[in-house]
Structure 1
Amino acid sequence: MKALLATLTLSLLLSSTTFAGNWPGWRGPTSNGVAEGSGYPVSWNSNKNILWEVAFPGVSGSTPVIWGDDLFLTTATDEKNEVLCLNKNSGKKKWTTEFGTARAGKHKKGSGSSPSPVVDDQFVFAYFKSGDLACLNREGKIVWQKNLQKTYGEDTLWWDLGTSPVLTNNLVVIACMQSDNSYIVAFDKATGKEVWKQDRNLDAPEEASQSYSTPVVVNQDGKEIIYVLGADHVTAHDAQTGKQIWQVGGLNPTQHKYFRSISSPVVSDGYLIAPYARGGSLTGIKLGGSGDVTKSHVAWTIEEENEFTDVPTPAAINGRFYVCSDKKGSVLCFDVKTGKKIWGDRLPRNSNKFSASPILADGHIYVTREDGTTFVLEQGDQFKLVSENPLEGFALATPIFSDGKIYLKMTDKIYCIGKK
């Protein structure tokens, strides 16, 4: 286990160095909600520390990404899926690329562009509710595109597509978990050629078989592993072949019909944390093993109805993980290895919920409420609220952090927040 922890720590450090200043995917450079660097503001409002504000067309719940000086975001108008590129320092639009035919959202918080894009030093990948997946170069030219629903079957989710694409060293990977015909598929980044497709049809009842969560890619002992949460299970897959390495079941012991999952897993310190049961449970799983490791590798489970997280994905660092309770408006801190609660309390009461995921930056915790208010807390040994920062807008996207600035996207505009 010590060797595994050392490898994971080294992997995170190497990833942090590689992506210095970048925010390549919706959970940040190490996929666990942790921002690099320091100097991020902890206080702002419409008249303070707003460096720029830019509106965009359509309605969008996706989280932006950053590489270098480029900020990429997705949206969908009445007709087209769109990828926009802005200069992160000025907010000036560099280009817009349209492709596919947009599909409207069903839920009041939904849209055709809930999945977040992902970027590396060469390409930007964008995925939409319509099933359209495209690879663009950094200048906005489409390198390749395809429609997963036309290729593999129609979307049978009851609500709006939410899972985001993730990257391995050479592949872009998407998990499709629905009532039937569930699968994970990987394409060559440069060509779009299908490299592998792995069925993932597990024994979960009705809506519990559906998932809106995003996989996590971790470099473990020099080998990339993809972890997927959904359909009452966590599965681990070889990133180069898609072959399942292990699985953990039992996340829905009562076989509840409607335990669809939205919150994604987080990996830290040799453990995977799986939020489940619509905010009713958290499960800690030791990494490693093969086959069905439910009995041997589930380290702890804590259950309490509506206490934890249904939508926001936890953030983790230094043996602790942090949860934002979307229904109760609480922020809680737990020990990764034991599941023991270290602290937790409610934020100021409000009828609005939390959809954005928490971010850990420079010793603070940032959580954004749907009414555009961001709360900043300390990462210390007790619940301590530092500031409450209101902005106009409806916030579903998670804030992203780069070079001392915070980018907070509403459904129709984006703010750049920095110290003036």
Structure 2
Amino acid sequence: MNIIDAAVRTAFVAVWFVGSWTTEVTADWPSWRGADDHGSVAEGTYPVVLNEAAIQWRSPLPGKGCSTPILYNGNLYVTAPLDGKDGILSIDSSGAQRWITSFSTEVSGKHRNGSGCNASPVTDGETVFAYFKSGTFAAVALDGTQRWTTNLVERFGEDKRFWDHGTSPVLTQDNVVVARMHAGDSWLAAFDKETGELVWKVDRNYDVPKECDQCYTTPLVIKHSGREAILVWGAEHLTIHDASDGKEIWSCGDFNPEGNMLWPAIATPVIVDDVAVICFGRNDRGVPRLHGIRLDGSGDVTESNHVWFRDDIGTFVPTPAVHDGRVYIVRDKGEVECIDPATGETIWSDRLPKNRANYYASPLIAGGKLYAAREDGVVFVVGINDSHFELLSENDFDEPVIGSLIPGADRLFVRGEKHLFCLAATDEAKRQEARP
């Protein structure tokens, strides 16, 4: 189905409503993959068919961006360029724009699916933090007031990744943390959330084959040995750093013993219990790698903490999702794998309809359904459990979808290249789902 018809494409409206907004959105999604970094939410009733009847509103965006929105206290925050400048935009629960705050000149993307605002914002409930390809690193209050800004390219040098940055900032108790892993001096740095002042900055440099030092992953804030820590994947190493000073307290290597070149790290790890699942290799070129790494111990654990390894499945760009203790991988061409993270064994595998287009967005699991967005704007809805895969619907948004979908309170938000969509299950669908 084609969600944006010709009449809507020619209409001059700021926001177009279908149906009515009946409940206030209260569920929060404060960062790219949600509060627990799993890309999933267990509770809620979410739409199965993403058609006109399901659309609550569509709100136009001021420019091309590929980041994922975040949601806090019913309001959405998303990065997008405005008149050639980096910007953070806020949209309320009715689809109306609350405010937009712009900064320095945007640096546009190189890749067809890239932009100057690939990285997703993050919020602690008081401030929204965002990082842009231009180097602008900014903090704004929830009313759009700028709190502080700095430029990390001007301070620490040019970003030398081949493609557009994608690493999102993350929050510890006191700081906002950014990683840059590229073909140059690589580092992990923490900035005071209140002032933007640099708290610590540590080097993260490794001698690896060409392009393997270039990384687009997002760090994860975890607990390690009872203290707050930051897990970082990239440059063929998984490391854990003390959140208070950035000191490396744990490391694991040996992810590319053959010395393959042109293997950047793109998919962010997921953690289930004490095992990190690492997607590496070049699944897009038929050379996947998948690793299970135990996160206990300290120091260099390379020899002891590789739990399992597979060279037949993996993903290059989309980050997996976690649901009910299982890891769900949507591969770059639409193959779907459900695996046991403790053993790496496949529980089931299937695939979405074949197409030349790839998957760049990371999958969302909401209310027991998996949502997978293809780069051409087709979004699939899949019923999942421990034993099977059931394709429930195929929906065309008629514009590219690169950012990941996010859930609200019984709402689904889809960031297209031109619009932000809000969808909900119809009343009839809710009645059918409630039947025993």
Query: When the two structures are superposed, what TM-score results if normalisation uses the length of structure 2?
Result: 0.89
Deviations 1:9-51 (A, max 9, x none): xxxxxxxxxx971001110121111125311111122x22000
Hey, what's the Cα distance between the residues in 1 that align with 2:260 and 2:220? 25
Hey, what's the Cα distance between the residues in 2 that align with 1:228 and 1:246? 10
Report the counterpart of residue 106 of structure 1 in structure 2: 110
Hey, what's the Cα distance between the residues in 2 that align with 1:367 and 1:109? 16
Hey, what's the Cα distance between the residues in 2 that align with 1:356 and 1:90? 25
The 8 Å contact of residues 27 and 74 in structure 2, kept in 1 or not, is answered as no
Report the counterpart of residue 317 of structure 2 in structure 1: 311
Q: CA deviation at 1:383?
A: 2.2
1:290 to 288, 298, 306: 298
Hey, what's the Cα distance between the residues in 2 that align with 1:255 and 1:364? 39
Q: CA deviation at 1:162?
A: 0.9
Report the counterpart of residue 150 of structure 1 in structure 2: 154
Report the counterpart of residue 346 of structure 1 in structure 2: 351
Query: When the two structures are superposed, what TM-score results if normalisation uses the length of structure 1?
Result: 0.92
Report the counterpart of residue 172 of structure 1 in structure 2: 176
Please give the secondary structure, in 2, of the residue aligned with 1:219.
strand
Q: CA deviation at 1:64?
A: 0.4
1:417 to 412, 423, 427: 423
Please give the secondary structure, in 1, of the residue aligned with 2:211.
helix
Report the counterpart of residue 205 of structure 2 in structure 1: 201
Report the counterpart of residue 277 of structure 2 in structure 1: 273
Hey, what's the Cα distance between the residues in 1 that align with 2:368 and 2:223? 25
1:69 to 53, 74, 89: 74
The 8 Å contact of residues 59 and 77 in structure 1, kept in 2 or not, is answered as no
Hey, what's the Cα distance between the residues in 2 that align with 1:62 and 1:233? 25
Please give the secondary structure, in 1, of the residue aligned with 2:41.
coil
The 8 Å contact of residues 65 and 417 in structure 2, kept in 1 or not, is answered as yes
Report the counterpart of residue 4 of structure 1 in structure 2: none
Report the counterpart of residue 404 of structure 2 in structure 1: 398
Q: CA deviation at 1:387?
A: 2.1
Hey, what's the Cα distance between the residues in 1 that align with 2:324 and 2:145? 40
1:371 to 376, 382, 393: 376
Query: Are positions 1:181 and 2:189 aligned together?
Result: no
Greater shift after overlay, 334-343 or 151-160? 151-160
Hey, what's the Cα distance between the residues in 1 that align with 2:344 and 2:325? 10
Equivalences for residues 217-236 of structure 1 within 5 A? 217-220=221-224, 222-236=226-240
Deviations 1:224-265 (A, max 9, x none): 221111111111111111111111111111111200111111
Deviations 1:67-106 (A, max 9, x none): 102100101246210110000x211000010001110111
Q: CA deviation at 1:384?
A: 2.1
Please give the secondary structure, in 2, of the residue aligned with 1:149.
helix
Query: Are positions 1:57 and 2:62 aligned together?
Result: yes
- 1:321 partner amino acid: V
- 1:303 partner amino acid: D
Highest CA radius of gyration, 1 or 2?
2
- 2:349 partner amino acid: G
* Closer/same/farther in 2, CA of residues 65 and 36 from structure 1, 3 Å limit: farther
Moved over 4 A (4+): none
Equivalences for residues 125-144 of structure 1 within 5 A? 125-144=129-148
Report the counterpart of residue 360 of structure 2 in structure 1: 355
Deviations 1:133-168 (A, max 9, x none): 001001111111100111111111111111000111
Please give the secondary structure, in 1, of the residue aligned with 2:153.
helix
Identity of aligned residues (%): 42
- 2:46 partner amino acid: Y
1:258 to 262, 271, 279: 262
Report the counterpart of residue 320 of structure 1 in structure 2: 326
Report the counterpart of residue 12 of structure 1 in structure 2: none
Deviations 1:85-130 (A, max 9, x none): 000x211000010001110111111110101111121000011000
The 8 Å contact of residues 265 and 313 in structure 1, kept in 2 or not, is answered as yes
Please give the secondary structure, in 2, of the residue aligned with 1:151.
helix
The 8 Å contact of residues 319 and 337 in structure 1, kept in 2 or not, is answered as no
Deviations 1:168-193 (A, max 9, x none): 11110011000120000001111111
